[in-house]
Chain A
Amino acid sequence: MCGAPDQAVSLPPGTDLSKETVLAGRVLAAGQPVGGAFVRLLDGTGEFTAEVVASASGDFRFFAAPGTWTVRALSRSGNGETVLTADAPGLHRAEIAVA
């Protein structure tokens, strides 16, 4: 497959967090989860890398690499973005507030 998979909360079975750099988080508007937001992963230069649709609970995740990333959300409740830095493989979390 190549399309964006379902963004259910749990990681796919067999995800090796000693090797994979997973960027995961939640889209929130005034503290409440925003389901169905379009979440875009931009690299350190602001270039588009990937996009997923947040789950009903607002959750999203990407399989990236160590580095600095921007996660940007587009939704009916507004847009917003957060910068996060992953210095090594593992699970890195971020919240995106949209308004």
Chain B
Amino acid sequence: MSRQDVLVTADWAEKNLGTEGIVFVEVDEDTTAYDGGHLPGAVRINWTTELQDPVRRDIVSAEQFAQLLSAKGISPDDTVVLYGGNNNWFAAYAYWEFKLYGHPAVKLLDGGRKKWELDGRVLTTDVVERTPTSFPVQEPDLSIRAFRDEVVDAIDTKNLVDVRSPDEFSGKILAPAHLPQEQSQRPGHIPSAINIPWSKAANEDGTFKSDEELATLYGAAGYEEGKATIAYCRIGERSSHTWVVLHELLGHSDVKNYDGSWTEYGSLIGVPIELGAGR
């Protein structure tokens, strides 16, 4: 896996709008930005209502995922280019979910909506309709998804990478600073975790830093290469961004995203929690 297999540039995307076999998909937690203007030809996926099970806390099932892609007109032969706001967090989550359910050709638009808008590139409010397909149901690849018990077992054993802000890591606040602080879970982090905020992997315009900068960043923060890794944040989308960096861009093997993340871990009875700046 190399950067060209994972990312497309805004220039490339602009040249390939409308190309047969390439489907642009805008993904966000709240997709109202799509209504105000989206990439020409792009369909939308709402992370909250379409990538999450509507009843249980879980990602959608393999059957639901296949139905979703079929309804959106996405086939396994299409190259899917995902992008979104919030620095591509939810597009990265979708990327991870597309990989989990075996879509063979999925990429991220480097910089997402932010770079696209700052560049002043074209956005349209045209209604996009694609012919439904028949996307096959595929078993999930659980080698990239961590569950709570293996996270507890990973303490002092695997690289546990907490990608939240330093104040969330230390336990000072429970949610990012653009949200009210009313959540009720216990603050803190998983013992032995290292804190490498997702934002350190991105430039100001939302693009990923270079492979060299990324390798230096994780090495300096105590990331041990060759050791299995679990990344987490609060609800699993910022850690998807870091999962893309570690597994897809830097090519480390055995990297899992813990999508339960702090909203699950910080609510579990009896598990160990560490407060403060870390070890």
| Chain A residues within 8 Å of B, Cβ to Cβ | 1-6, 12, 14-15, 20, 36, 38, 40-41, 43, 47-53, 61-65, 74-76
Which of A3, A14, A49 is within 8 Å of B167, CB to CB?
A49
Task: List, in ascending order, chain A residues with CB within 8 A of B234's CB.
Answer: 2
How many angstroms between the C-alpha atoms of A22 and B117 in the bound complex? 27
- Given known pairs A2-B237, A74-B118, A76-B120, the reply for A63 and B179 (CB within 8 Å) is yes
Task: List, in ascending order, chain A residues with CB within 8 A of B48's CB.
Answer: 1
Chain B interface residue number, banded: 35 or more
Could you show 17 A-B contacts with beta carbons less than 8 Å apart? A1-B179, A2-B175, A2-B179, A2-B233, A2-B238, A3-B29, A3-B30, A3-B85, A3-B237, A5-B179, A6-B30, A48-B165, A50-B165, A51-B86, A53-B85, A61-B178, A62-B177
Which of B87, B89, B177 is within 8 Å of A41, CB to CB?
B177
| Chain B residues within 8 Å of A, Cβ to Cβ | 28-30, 32-33, 48, 85-87, 89-90, 114, 117-118, 120, 165-167, 172-173, 175-181, 197, 199-200, 204-205, 233-235, 237-238
Contact call B177/A4, Cβ cutoff below 8 A: no
How many angstroms between the C-alpha atoms of A1 and B182 in the bound complex? 12
Least distance between B81 CB and chain A CB atoms (Å): 20
How many angstroms between the C-alpha atoms of A12 and B234 in the bound complex? 21
How many angstroms between the C-alpha atoms of A36 and B33 in the bound complex? 10
**Additional pairs, 20, CB under 8 Å, beyond known A5-B179, A6-B30, A48-B200:** A1-B29, A1-B30, A2-B176, A2-B233, A3-B30, A3-B86, A12-B180, A15-B180, A38-B114, A40-B204, A47-B197, A49-B176, A49-B177, A52-B178, A63-B177, A65-B167, A65-B173, A74-B205, A75-B118, A76-B118
